[in-house]
Structure 1
Amino acid sequence: MTNRRSTARSLLLGLGAGALGLGLVPALPATIAPGPLAAQSASELDAVVGALRAIGTMRADFTQTDRQGNVMAGVMTLKRPGKIRFDYGKDSDFLVISNGKSLYVVDYEVSQVERWPIKNSPLGALFDPERDVKRFGKLVPTGNPDVISVEVRDPKKPEFGMINLIFVRNASAPGGWQLTHWVALDAQNHRTRVQLTNQRYGVPVADSTFTFRDPRRASRRPG
């Protein structure tokens, strides 16, 4: 497997772990002592839930770095519920995409497509307004009232690894909190960081954005 494919695959693993904590597969519940800390934690989780539920469509630039320092960059396009596209550029022969039903990793170089049903991937829950992050994961103290970190892991599903989702207070973002990056550890403790920048919300996004040409039928690159 090339570095390019390995790095893109680590993005997929990070997506799976991240959405895991937002509701499709039960994760380890937070342990919060009663009292002001519990109220504060609940309030922060409420804020995260509200921010995620407030996103209808979004585009953002992303930079992904794996444990070996390999970097890939592109544009992420999202449309609720469950549609997402990681586009690595016009000259790229690799694509990660979900049409809301299935998640695909498309490699035009080797004419290969890998598919995961959304129901078997936590990705489908990441932007599902019916899911509730409060029931899963736990808060990680940041020491900064303008930053919320949510750690997600499921001891019963070690193949999903662990992820930290980082939200920063931003009045211009839906719900007042902006997802800026996530850091994922897979089952082999391989670390991947995905940084989002230039987030744009409420942009027009056609459903055709989440379709692709199948390289198994014709050796063509994504358009």
Structure 2
Amino acid sequence: MMMMRFFSPAALLAPLLALLLALPAAAADKIPLTEISRYLNGLGTVSADFTQVNSDGSQTAGKLFIRRPGRMRFEYAADKTLVLASGGQVAIFDAKSNQPPEQYPLARTPLNLILAPKIDLGRNKMVMGHVTDGTLTAVTAQDPDHPEVGSIQLIFSAAPTMLRQWVVTDDTGAQTRVSLTNLQAGETFPPSLFSITDEAAKRGF
């Protein structure tokens, strides 16, 4: 099964992790898991610009829209490629293909963890890592019921808590880093923005 190309080389993540782990624990308080859970649960709608580093080292950019729970839209600036999460499915509209979108269950990707109706990072065996460098807090999480689908590392700035990056590791071990800028919360999006059916019809499928 082909997975979304949201995945970057482990080497790109290594410098950040080395920095986080090397700094003294007393450098600053980590953002508590309860606060991170509260922040994520409070995100109803979000838009942001994103830069994505793929598993082969290539970079892409575009616009991201989130409507929790369960809906996400990645618009890639370079072409008309689009990734939609909606109705429990993920659909990849490949701009280079004249075929209908490839689809698979959202529950089979770690992105499901941030799109879930209720996020509780205190859940047993969910959090695999929780570190800080004094400025950023990184939380690595997995679905404790389905660890085989991979994991997601969420990176936050503090005061106020804000999501800055995530790194997804899929079920094959491939990784992608997505960095966010110009994040805006509380906007109003039409349901059609996340509709796989509407997008398929628009593209003639």
TM-score band by shorter chain is 0.7 to 0.9
Partner residue in 2 for 1:140: 130
Q: CA deviation at 1:112?
A: 3.6
Q: 1:55 to 1:161 in 2, by over 3 A?
A: same
Secondary structure in 2 aligned to 1:93? coil
Root-mean-square deviation (Å)? 3.1
- 1:25-80 CA-to-partner distances (Å, cap 9, x unmatched) read xxxxxxxxxxxx9xx87x71001101101111110000001243211100000111
Partner residue in 2 for 1:81: 69
State whether structure 2 residue 138 is matched by structure 1 residue 149: yes
Partner residue in 2 for 1:60: 48
Query: In 1, distance between residues paired with 2:116 and 2:172?
Result: 28
Is 2:55–2:174's contact at 8 Å kept on the other side of the alignment?
Answer: yes
Pick from 179, 187, 191: which aligns with 1:203?
A: 187
Q: Which runs of 5+ in 2 are unaligned?
A: 9-25
Instruction: Name the aligned partner's letter for residue 47 of structure 1.
Output: E
Instruction: Name the aligned partner's letter for residue 38 of structure 2.
Output: G
Q: CA deviation at 1:159?
A: 4.6
Instruction: Compute the TM-score of the two structures, normalised by the length of structure 2.
Output: 0.73
Q: 1:214 to 1:149 in 2, by over 3 A?
A: same
State whether structure 2 residue 152 is matched by structure 1 residue 166: no
Q: In the TM superposition, what are the counterparts of 1:35-50 in structure 2 within 5 Å?
A: 44-50=32-38
Instruction: Name the aligned partner's letter for residue 86 of structure 2.
Output: N
Secondary structure in 2 aligned to 1:49? helix
Query: In 2, distance between residues paired with 1:57 and 1:155?
Result: 26
Partner residue in 1 for 2:5: 10
Q: CA deviation at 1:92?
A: 1.8
Higher relative CO (Cα under 8 Å, sequence separation at least 6) belongs to: 1
Query: In 1, distance between residues paired with 2:143 and 2:116?
Result: 19
Query: In 1, distance between residues paired with 2:115 and 2:55?
Result: 27
Q: CA deviation at 1:209?
A: 0.7
Query: In 2, distance between residues paired with 1:70 and 1:159?
Result: 26
Q: 1:47 to 1:157 in 2, by over 3 A?
A: same
Secondary structure in 2 aligned to 1:218? coil
Instruction: Name the aligned partner's letter for residue 193 of structure 2.
Output: T
Q: CA deviation at 1:101?
A: 2.9
Instruction: Name the aligned partner's letter for residue 178 of structure 1.
Output: M
Pick from 182, 190, 210: which aligns with 2:166?
A: 182
Q: CA deviation at 1:122?
A: 4.6
Query: In 2, distance between residues paired with 1:187 and 1:78?
Result: 23
Query: Number of aligned pairs?
Result: 180
| Matched-pair identity in % | 30
Query: In 2, distance between residues paired with 1:68 and 1:108?
Result: 19
